[in-house]
């Protein structure tokens, strides 16, 4: 089969088209003939040598895909309500940049009605991540306020839409006025240009000094102190990436006085059962929103899989709004 491999750690041009053996599905798994693969920030980190795959995972990049079930564990498929020949999208720990990929049955979801393969491939990584962190870990409730850092990223566009669909007020940050407008168009109530405005001061102003209930943060570093300063009482900060650095200093007194929670998570290395539980929640709570078009994937660019290097260069340019997808 054709696949995209990382020939060595480095710039986007280290990604190259190669031939690999078709993987074999084991117990509890399916083999998927891949039609489209989502591109995500962790893929870029893996290409640079900064985010190695977990033990036992494919060395090929790619954490999400959509395609057709070719074969697999019949009993597991029946229990999940899936079938050979069915179109699915899946979250995987690696190997998504290939014409065939093995995925745990529990991490597969049927393609939402009316969605094409590109739209379906754009769903798993961001929807699993946002659901797990914003709604399960941070427990965002209807009527609360969510601050989303990086509102036009793949994670950001998903968080804005899901939070609005579930009754929250959403404040998003972005790095340009055009990107702020894109956040508003997706349903955000307010958008803050972090290059020209102090997001913490603005968040306090927009909430009449109360602060926000939940913050979804992909930056960390020196953002943490400012985020702590604009959380409401009993507020929750969830850190899911450290693009601004791993070290942070903040006012611990505010954490005590306001009873704040600072938490975080990564998803890739979590066990299949954990991810399967997220998949079940998505199927019950979010798939109806997708099928009714209350929530939709935002696709910035679709490239042939052989142009994976161009896709990575585009992601690293930070000019995209939403998802970048490879098509096989």
| Structural domains of the chain ordered from first start | 2-123+268-327 (3.90.180.10), 127-264 (3.40.50.720)
Q: How far is CA 299 from the centre of its chain?
A: 13
> Is the Cβ–Cβ distance between 125 and 153 less than 8 Å?
no
Q: What is the pTM of this model?
A: 0.96
Report the distance separating Cα 104 and Cα 115, nearest Å.
22
The whole-number pLDDT of residue 150 equals 96
Largest CA distance in the chain: 59
Which of 7, 2, 15 has its CA nearest to residue 44?
15
Q: Percentage of residues in the chain with pLDDT exceeding 90?
A: 100
Question: Residue 304 is encoded by which pair of tokens?
Answer: 């042939």
Report the distance separating Cα 328 and Cα 318, nearest Å.
24
Alpha carbon of 24 to those of 5, 33, 88, 107, 130: distances in Å?
18, 12, 18, 17, 30
> Is the Cβ–Cβ distance between 161 and 144 less than 8 Å?
no
The whole-number pLDDT of residue 72 equals 97
Report the distance separating Cα 25 and Cα 76, nearest Å.
12
The whole-number pLDDT of residue 35 equals 98
Report the distance separating Cα 33 and Cα 21, nearest Å.
13
Residue 146 — very low, low, confident or very high, per pLDDT cuts 50/70/90? very high
- Average pLDDT (292-317) is 98
> Is the Cβ–Cβ distance between 236 and 261 less than 8 Å?
yes
Report the distance separating Cα 137 and Cα 128, nearest Å.
12
Report the distance separating Cα 188 and Cα 61, nearest Å.
32
Q: How far is CA 87 from the centre of its chain?
A: 21
Q: How many CB atoms lie within 10 A of CB 101?
A: 28
Report the distance separating Cα 251 and Cα 229, nearest Å.
8
The whole-number pLDDT of residue 263 equals 98
> Is the Cβ–Cβ distance between 128 and 91 less than 8 Å?
yes
> Is the Cβ–Cβ distance between 131 and 158 less than 8 Å?
no
178-218: pLDDT as tens digits: 999 999 999 999 999 999 999 999 999 999 999 999 999 99
Give SS3 for 68: strand
- Average pLDDT (102-128) is 98
The whole-number pLDDT of residue 212 equals 98
> Is the Cβ–Cβ distance between 146 and 123 less than 8 Å?
no
DSSP string, 9-51: SSSGGGEEEEE-PPP---TTEEEEEEEEEEE-HHHHHHHTTSS
The whole-number pLDDT of residue 10 equals 98
17-54: pLDDT as tens digits: 999 999 999 999 999 999 999 999 999 999 999 999 99
49-106: pLDDT as tens digits: 999 999 999 999 999 999 999 999 999 999 999 999 999 999 999 999 999 999 999 9
154-173: pLDDT as tens digits: 999 999 999 999 999 999 99
Which of 84, 97, 71, 154 has its CA nearest to residue 328?
97
Burial 236-255 (b: 16+ CB within 10 A, else e): bbbbbbbebeeebebeeebb
The whole-number pLDDT of residue 182 equals 97
216-253: pLDDT as tens digits: 999 999 999 999 999 999 999 999 999 999 999 999 99
Report the distance separating Cα 140 and Cα 294, nearest Å.
18
């Amino acid at each position: 089969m054709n696949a995209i491999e990382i020939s060595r750690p480095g710039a986007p041009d280290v990604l190259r088209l190669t031939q690999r053996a078709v993987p074999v599905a084991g117990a509890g798994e399916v083999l998927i003939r891949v039609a489209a693969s989502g591109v995500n920030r962790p893929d870029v980190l893996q290409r640079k040598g900064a985010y190695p795959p977990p033990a036992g995972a494919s060395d090929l990049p790619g954490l999400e895909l959509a395609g057709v079930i070719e074969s697999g564990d019949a009993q597991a498929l029946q229990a999940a309500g899936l079938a050979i020949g069915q179109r699915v999208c899946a979250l995987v720990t690696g190997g998504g940049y290939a014409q065939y990929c093995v995925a745990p049955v529990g991490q597969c979801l049927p393609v939402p009605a009316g969605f094409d393969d590109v739209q379906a491939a754009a769903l798993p990584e961001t929807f699993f991540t946002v659901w797990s962190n914003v709604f399960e870990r941070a427990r965002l409730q209807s009527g609360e306020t969510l601050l989303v850092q990086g509102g036009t990223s793949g994670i950001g566009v998903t968080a804005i839409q899901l939070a609005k669909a579930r009754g929250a007020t959403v404040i998003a940050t972005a790095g340009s006025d055009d990107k702020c407008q894109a956040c508003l168009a997706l349903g955000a109530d307010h958008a803050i240009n972090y290059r020209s405005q102090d997001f913490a001061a603005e968040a306090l102003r927009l909430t009449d000094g109360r602060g926000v209930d939940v913050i979804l943060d992909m930056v960390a570093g020196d953002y943490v102190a400012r985020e702590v300063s604009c959380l409401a009482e009993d507020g929750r900060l969830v850190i899911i990436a450290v693009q601004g650095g791993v070290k942070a200093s903040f006012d611990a007194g505010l954490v005590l006085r306001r009873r704040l929670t600072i938490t975080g998570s990564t998803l890739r290395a979590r066990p299949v059962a954990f991810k399967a539980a997220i998949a079940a929640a998505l199927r019950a709570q979010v798939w109806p929103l997708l099928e009714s078009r209350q929530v939709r994937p935002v696709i910035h660019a679709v490239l042939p899989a052989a142009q994976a290097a161009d896709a990575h260069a585009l992601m690293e340019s930070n000019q995209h709004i939403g998802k970048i997808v490879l098509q096989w």
